[in-house]
Amino acid sequence: MRGRGARPVADRAVGAAPVGRVPPTRPGTAPHPGAWWLWALSLGTAATRTTNPLLLALLLTVSAYVVATCRPSTPTAHSYTAFVKLALAVLLIRLAFAVLLGSPIPGTHVIATLPEVPLPHWAQGIRLGGTITAEGLLFALYDGLKLATLLICVGAANALANPARLLKSLPGALYEMGVAVVVALTFAPNLITDVQRLRAARRLRGRPDQGIRGLLHVGLPVLEGALERSVSLAAAMDARGYGRTVDVPAPVRRTTAALTLGGLLGVCAGTYGLLTAEGGGYGLPVLLAGLAAALAGLRLGGRRSPRTRYRPDRWDLRAWLITGSGAAAAVLMVLASSYDPEALHPGVVPLVAPALPLWPAAAVLLGLLPAFLAPASKEQPS
């Protein structure tokens, strides 16, 4: 029997937070997901600046060690293995193209000679079959290994960063694109999770889960299920009012559009200036001005989408150190490619063994810092 003046049970709930206050971030949680993406993209940038197989192998080792040390206990964290297999397939395809279509690199060390298919005159420069040289295969191996390393770095970001937490950190001006972002970020992890689930179910039923037959029986349900789960999550967010906007004065809307569009154009023009020799004088100032204008536009655009965050992710010192370790590796690799390009791009004509440059290797090792800053957490899937 409820006494006089008694409070409802919900009001006496243990640990109830005061209305209007956001609970602080739980201690011991994983770092900010944006820090993991910036770290992984920085390692990928470092991989694009070299074809040295020793440096690329060192980048692969760094990313694998950090993933093994810092990967959370979530279903999507097991996508790293799938990206490794995808990178291996890309490498093998690149080598197969070099064998079947030839290589632009001339060589004197002949490995084999395949029957060459004659092609019409309009297909000059392309051949099918012919001589396979060690120089051409080595060039294809270096080129394919660079692309494989870039894919594995993206896989590391997918394994370490929770896409749902990353979505909560988007700027307010990008909330209207939240539905598309959810589908894009959750499709690959859901795809890999469905593959593992369906293969385990087929093995329990005694049915084949490998080969062409297993792929045909698993492929379509996996694609359908992953897309359906991503779209269902987006629909649930839309039903809960995600991305709703409020009325903003017309001058503010026009200013936001002008700043965002002008900032993006400035970023493109500044990037072009940095990549070309003619634009070295104006590239950096235009890039910085474009970034400032774009950030100001995103800040103003956030006023259209007011919302609250439950347990927001804080960009703390640990996130800065994780981002800084990857950015330092990328910057030092870019500088090394300018000052000593031969060490980062070993030649294949004549055949020489690649050497490991010391200070670029030390720059890559800076990417190991997150392994000591962010040990694996027991984060539950959200």
pLDDT in tens, 62-72: 999 999 998 87
Task: Tell me the three-class secondary structure of 211-248, residue by residue.
Answer: HHHHHHHHHHHHHHHHHHHHHHHHHHHHHCCCCCCCCC
pLDDT band, very low/low/confident/very high, at 310 (cuts 50, 70, 90): low
User: Stretch 134-147: mean pLDDT, rounded?
Assistant: 90
At 380, the amino acid letter reads Q
pLDDT in tens, 323-348: 999 999 988 988 888 888 888 888 88
The percentage of residues in the chain with a pLDDT greater than 90, rounded to a whole number, is 16
Task: Tell me the three-class secondary structure of the chain, residue by residue.
Answer: CCCCCCCCCHHHCCCCCCCCCCCCCCCCCCCCHHHHHHHHHHHHHHHHCCCCHHHHHHHHHHHHHHHHHHCCCCHHHHHHHHHHHHHHHHHHHHHHHHHHHCCCCCCCCEEEEEEEECCCHHHCCCCEEEEEEHHHHHHHHHHHHHHHHHHHHHHHHHHHCCHHHHHHCCCHHHHHHHHHHHHHHHHHHHHHHHHHHHHHHHHHCCCCCCHHHHHHHHHHHHHHHHHHHHHHHHHHHHHCCCCCCCCCCHHHHHHHHHHHHHHHHHHHHHHHHHHCCCCCCCHHHHHHHHHHHHHHHHHHHHHHCCCCCCCCCCCCHHHHHHHHHHHHHHHHHHHHHHHCHHHHCCCCCCCCCCCCCHHHHHHHHHHHHHHHHCCCCCCCCC
Position 4 scores a pLDDT of 45
Question: Residue 203: phi, psi to the nearest 5?
Answer: -65, -40
At 193, the amino acid letter reads T
- Determine the Cα–Cα distance for residues 330 and 264; give it in Å rounded to an integer: 23
Q: Which of 171, 169, 165, 180 is nearest to 304 (CA)?
A: 171
Q: Which of 122-136, 137-151, 202-216, 238-252 has the highest mean predicted lDDT (pLDDT)?
A: 137-151
User: Stretch 48-54: mean pLDDT, rounded?
Assistant: 90
pTM over 0.85: no
Sign of the four-CA dihedral 288, 289, 293, 294: negative
- Please answer whether residues 337 and 124 qualify as being in contact, where contact means their C-beta atoms are separated by less than 8 angstroms: no
Position 130 scores a pLDDT of 77
Task: Check pLDDT > 50 for residue 380.
Answer: no
Of the listed ranges 17-31, 137-151, 239-253, 309-323, the one predicted with least confidence: 17-31
Higher-confidence residue of 64 and 239: namely: 64
Task: Check pLDDT > 80 for residue 81.
Answer: yes
Higher-confidence residue of 159 and 307: namely: 159
User: Stretch 24-53: mean pLDDT, rounded?
Assistant: 80
Residue 353 class from Cβ within 10 Å (0-12 exposed, 13-18 middle, 19+ buried)?
exposed
Task: Check pLDDT > 80 for residue 369.
Answer: yes
Position 61 scores a pLDDT of 94
Position 158 scores a pLDDT of 83
User: Stretch 99-110: mean pLDDT, rounded?
Assistant: 79
Give the domain ranges of the chain: 30-163+313-344+356-374, 170-245, 248-304
- Determine the Cα–Cα distance for residues 162 and 185; give it in Å rounded to an integer: 9
pLDDT band, very low/low/confident/very high, at 313 (cuts 50, 70, 90): confident
Of the listed ranges 1-10, 213-222, 356-365, the one predicted with least confidence: 1-10
pLDDT band, very low/low/confident/very high, at 166 (cuts 50, 70, 90): confident
Task: Check pLDDT > 60 for residue 34.
Answer: yes
pLDDT in tens, 261-302: 788 788 888 777 666 655 556 667 887 888 888 878 777 766
Q: Which of 22-36, 52-66, 194-208, 368-382 has the highest mean predicted lDDT (pLDDT)?
A: 52-66
Task: Check pLDDT > 90 for residue 119.
Answer: no
Position 339 scores a pLDDT of 85
| Residues in Cβ contact with 261 at an 8 Å cutoff, skipping those fewer than 6 apart | 297
